[in-house]
């Protein structure tokens, strides 16, 4: 089955700086890679996703990159704001979704 | 559109008791998922339905967990008997199709076992 590793486990950034979270996956059959944001006590919310035929995707301050050869993908958040503070999960979908362990992002005002 | 609905939001039971969770997916979504999220971890898939058929239940502890999706819409997840290690948030999600589609999550049921 798929194994997704996520780093770092915690990330503290100054407001306005960028945040980068990296994930690796094991199954070359995976072809869909969503990212979820989960605030304390709330549901995971899809913030961006990328498919294997695309190398990069942007949505305002959020971007995701995918390197299929190296089997890794990354989330980039620019101009971070306090409301970006949350736990972020990456996931990889071969025939089912496997999640990373999560990154707790804290944006310092 | 209305999101994925789950109930109850919280449940406290003693070990060896039974408990059931309910999920109503987004209208028209064929695929429904149940996940277990232990504190500090990512969600782990327990079971996946396509309409009212089971697609994957390889990580469902079948000696104590059961799930059904009658008529291909609502679903229930049951635990009987509960163990201490079952304390977790149980999340339901749905998607339009099984293959690589965005999954939308409900608020979950936080289960505490005493």
Using the structure block, give the residue that is written with the tokens 């919280």.
B10
Nearest to A34 among B33, B48, B102 (CB): B102
Q: Quick check: B99 pLDDT over 80? A: no
Q: Quick check: A1 pLDDT over 80? A: no
Q: Quick check: A94 pLDDT over 90? A: no
pLDDT at B98: 66
Mean of per-residue pLDDT scores for chain B: 94
pLDDT at B88: 98
Q: Quick check: B19 pLDDT over 80? A: yes
Q: Quick check: A88 pLDDT over 80? A: yes
Nearest CA in chain B to A43: B107
Q: What separation, in Å, do the N-terminal and C-terminal C-alpha atoms of chain B show?
A: 37
Using the structure block, give the residue that is written with the tokens 């996940």.
B35
Q: What is the pLDDT of residues B26-73, one digit of tens each?
A: 999 999 999 999 999 999 999 999 988 999 999 999 999 999 998 889
Beta-carbon contacts below 8 Å between A and B: 44
From the candidates A31, A32, A43, A94, which should be mutated to test the interface with B, based on the most B CB atoms within 10 A?
A: A43
Which band of pLDDT confidence, cut at 50, 70 and 90, is reported for residue A95? confident
Contact A102, A4 (CB under 8 A): no
Of chain A, the percentage scoring pLDDT greater than 70 comes to 100
Half-sphere exposure in the Cβ direction for B75 (13 Å, CA): 33
Query: Residue A23 corresponds to which tokens in the numbers above?
Result: 């994930």
């Amino acid at each position: 089955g798929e194994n997704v590793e996520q780093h770092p486990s915690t990330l503290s950034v100054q407001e306005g700086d960028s945040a980068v979270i990296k994930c690796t996956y094991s199954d070359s059959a995976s072809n869909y890679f969503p990212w979820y944001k989960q605030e304390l006590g709330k549901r995971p919310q899809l913030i961006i996703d990328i498919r294997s035929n695309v190398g990069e995707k942007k949505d305002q301050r959020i971007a995701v990159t995918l390197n299929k050869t190296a089997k890794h993908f990354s989330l980039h958040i620019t101009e971070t704001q306090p409301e970006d503070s949350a736990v972020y999960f990456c996931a990889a979908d071969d025939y089912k979704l496997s999640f990373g362990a999560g990154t707790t992002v804290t944006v310092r005002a | 559109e209305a999101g994925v609905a789950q109930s109850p939001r919280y449940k406290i039971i003693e070990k060896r008791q039974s408990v059931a969770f309910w999920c109503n997916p987004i209208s028209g979504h064929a695929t429904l998922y149940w996940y277990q999220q232990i504190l500090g971890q990512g969600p782990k898939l327990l079971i996946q339905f396509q309409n009212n058929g089971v697609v994957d239940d390889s990580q469902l502890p079948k000696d104590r967990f059961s799930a059904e999706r009658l008529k291909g819409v609502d679903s229930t997840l049951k635990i009987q008997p509960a163990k201490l290690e079952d304390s977790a948030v149980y999340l339901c999600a749905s998607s339009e199709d099984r293959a690589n589609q965005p999954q939308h999550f409900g608020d979950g049921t936080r289960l505490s076992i005493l």
